Amino acid sequence: MPLDLAFELMMLLTAACALLVSAWLFWHARQQRSMKALAGFGIMMALWCCGHVSVFYGWQPLGKLLILANPLMPTFFLDFAIGFVNQGPAQRAWLTRLAKKRALLYVAAIFVIAISLLGQGGKVLAFGPFSHYFVFSGIGWLNIAYTIIVGILAHALLLWGGHIHRGNRRRSIAAMFAAGAWGLLLASSFIFPSLGLHWYPWPMLLLPSYVVLLVYGVVRYQMLDINAWANRALLWILMTVLILGIIALLSSMAGQFGMQALASVPNWQLWLYSMLLLTLALALYQPVSQLVRRVIYPGSQLDEQRLDDWLQHLAEARDWSELSTIAEQLLRQQMGQAICVQLLPAQQPEQRASGPCIICAYHAGGWQSRLQGFDDVTPSVRLAAEVFASLLTTRCSLLERSLQLAEAERKRLSEQHLVELGGLSAAMAHELRNPLNIISMASAGLAPDRKAMIQSQLKRADRLISDMLTYSGTISVQRQPISVLPLLTSLREQFDWQAVILELRLDETLTIYADPYRLQQVLINLLDNALSFVRNQPDGHILIEANTAGYIKVHNNGPAIPPNMLAQLFRPFVGQRSGGSGLGLSIVQRIMDAHGGHIIHRHNPPWPVTFELYFPKDI
């Protein structure tokens, strides 16, 4: 290929690349002033290259105008640099003022261009393979000097921005410097003839890569969709290089294997045909892959919009039950059939499902998902379920962290509240017990029935004060092995059972690890609560059973707890018991938490009310 034609083709290719990326920037960065300036830089690059082509074809006035418009290129780039650097925490007042006066930069550039045109800042000569080539002369060197100075200012501003910015913006600046160094290396050969060095500008043949690398280096960290385009472009380049090598090898060896027709075809024609076929294959790859997907997975339409919609709806869940409900609704909308979803945080058993089910469980420090009952479904349904299960697994992990943070914050606020309540309770207890003691002493001389009534109410008041101090104080435990049956037997004598039956169903040797005093508090509170509800029943019955796994269950056949109270059962000052403080179950829960265990309410037929205590085995 003639060298002048090669140079002309590279100039046209550079112009085409610059126009394409500028159009892309205008379309995708309509709201970003700095990106528009970068698009302007690309347009000026395209016009500058078209100026050279115009000179080649003898259109000298147009060619000189476009080439001498050179100062607008760094001016657009300086405008871009001002807007790109002056963002976020790095904003500076002087940059803001400069940005408001950016029009003066363009006026100065146009002034230099006008002087260059009026002063005949260049001429056209012939050298080497070129019959027409533009070189700078006279006032044209002012044009070149101004262009270089503005370019240096723009890159100096970017260098300063690289020191004050962090993250992706700093990475973009580093990429711009790498592309700028590459562009300087390529463009330096353009002015050799202007210096009297009539060398062929070989580096200019690679100029198309400069504008593409520059724009890609800027936007790859700012716009994610450009990376998908770059992935396809790099694939095309690598495949092109590979095919060119294979074609060259086949062409050189074709004659040795008797394929004279192939050997006689010029290499450039083979390369051209191969690149055309490769370009066509890459262009058809996406629609063909979609067609194949529809054939293999009919009915499956999993596009980015659908996945974003799934993620958005799953992110609305605030607890496990809500997440499971939302997931089942999304699956029903996508697949047209009911598919159950089981979310199993740590220590939750799996339930048997009759139909297709997605199970997300926490195992070995992470969330894992699996499909169950999908053997007879269509491939499209299974594919959609697998993709959905992957998204659901990620959401489970995020929800678990969110719940853990919320629980930690709740505990922090609860502890802060208890500290404040503890100080207030201690002061109130001191102030209340003094008048109560005076009342008790004053009642000593009253009639026995009045004295008994007053003493009863004083005991109740003292119990309320004690419960308040216990709830608001710090609960510490000293865990040790305790034989449960002897402890329960000793507590039997502390209550007025009347006609209530107390049944102990546990082994004599059963031992749990707990604080003796705190365990006694727990059992007294639970038995006292149970007695208050079953004592007036003719068949009152309380059963305590335990096992070696650390569970103690306290059953009673009193009235069932109303459903509207279950959610606040362990909250302070909430209860149905007449004359109670409303702190009994709250105190029990705090003691169990201090042991690292828990207390839960269960409906365990035939018992209307069951409280289950769990004490960990390890000390």
Predicted pLDDT of residue 58: 86
CA 523 to CA 571: how far, in whole Å? 18
Find out if CATH 3.30.70.2740 is the number for domain 3-223.
no
If you average pLDDT over every residue of the chain, what do you get? 80
Q: Which residue has the higher pLDDT, 369 or 583?
A: 369
Cα distances from 327 to residues 19, 31, 343, 366, 384, in angstroms, run 46, 36, 10, 20, 13
Predicted pLDDT of residue 585: 82
What fold, for 480-614?
Heat Shock Protein 90 (3.30.565)
Q: What is the mean pLDDT of residues 433-444?
A: 72
Burial label, 346 (beta-carbon count in 10 A; 0-12, 13-18, 19+): exposed
Number of helices (H), then strands (E), in the chain: 20, 12
Predicted pLDDT of residue 311: 86
pLDDT digit string, tens, across residues 330-350: 888 877 778 888 888 866 677
- Range of 36-45, 193-202, 228-237, 427-436 with top mean pLDDT: 36-45
CB 135 within 8 A of CB 194: yes
The beta strand positions in 83-188, using DSSP E, are 122-127, 130-136
What is the pLDDT confidence band of residue 462, given thresholds at 50, 70 and 90?
low
Could you give the percent of the chain with pLDDT greater than 90?
A: 11
Q: Which of 120-124, 521-525, 580-584 has the lowest mean pLDDT?
A: 580-584
| Omega before residue 606 within 30° of 0, cis | yes
Which residue, chain included where needed, has tokens 């050997």? 263
Q: What is the dihedral of CA 573, 574, 575, 579, to 10 degrees?
A: 20
What is the pLDDT confidence band of residue 432, given thresholds at 50, 70 and 90?
low
Order of all β-strands in the sheet with 501-505: 501-505, 541-546, 551-556, 607-614, 598-604
What is the pLDDT confidence band of residue 224, given thresholds at 50, 70 and 90?
very low
What is the pLDDT confidence band of residue 428, given thresholds at 50, 70 and 90?
low
Angle at 274 between CA 270 and CA 279, to 5 degrees: 150
Strand pairing category for 501-505 and 130-136: unpaired
pLDDT digit string, tens, across residues 230-261: 556 666 667 777 776 777 777 777 666 667 67
Predicted pLDDT of residue 510: 85
CB 371 within 8 A of CB 358: yes
pLDDT digit string, tens, across residues 188-216: 888 888 888 888 888 888 888 887 777 66
Contacts of 236 (CB under 8 A, 6+ apart): 278, 279, 282
Predicted pLDDT of residue 408: 81
Q: Which of 88-97, 455-464, 498-507 has the lowest mean pLDDT?
A: 455-464
Question: What is the enclosing helix (H) or strand (E) of 191?
Answer: none
List the structure tokens of 476.
């510490």
